[in-house]
Amino acid sequence: MFLNLFLLQQTPNSLVGFVPILLIFAIFYFLLFLPMQRQKKNQQKMLKELKNGDAVLTSGGIVGTIVAIDDDTVVLRVKPDNLKLQVARSAVSSLVPAEGKK
């Protein structure tokens, strides 16, 4: 009788032990994975919407203006000598805001 009572009491405790682990996974999902997914979607959207005349910053730190766009490459005009560089579209990290806008 005492053994049956002891076994019945152990079952809820094992379920309670999983609650903190599930809580930790939920926190990681909402604080880490969800924002990374949003950032990745925004980056892909920005890369799709690139057009001629946009000022961009590459992942290598080069700032230039787009003069031509192919499927997976972008040609940038870099000041002051108007040098043209061909870079991968995925190397574009962000758009540079126009000087008049904020």
Q: What is the pLDDT of residue 13?
A: 63
Q: Are 58 and 93 in contact (CB under 8 A)?
A: yes
| DSSP calls for 30-80 | IIIIHHHHHHHHHHHHHHHT--TT-EEEETTS-EEEEEEE-SSEEEEEETT
Task: List, for residues 13-46, the tens digit of each pLDDT value.
Answer: 667 778 889 999 999 999 999 999 999 999 999 9
pLDDT at 89 > cutoff 70: yes
3-state SS assignment for residue 99: coil
Q: CA–CA separation, 66 vs 54, rounded Å?
A: 6
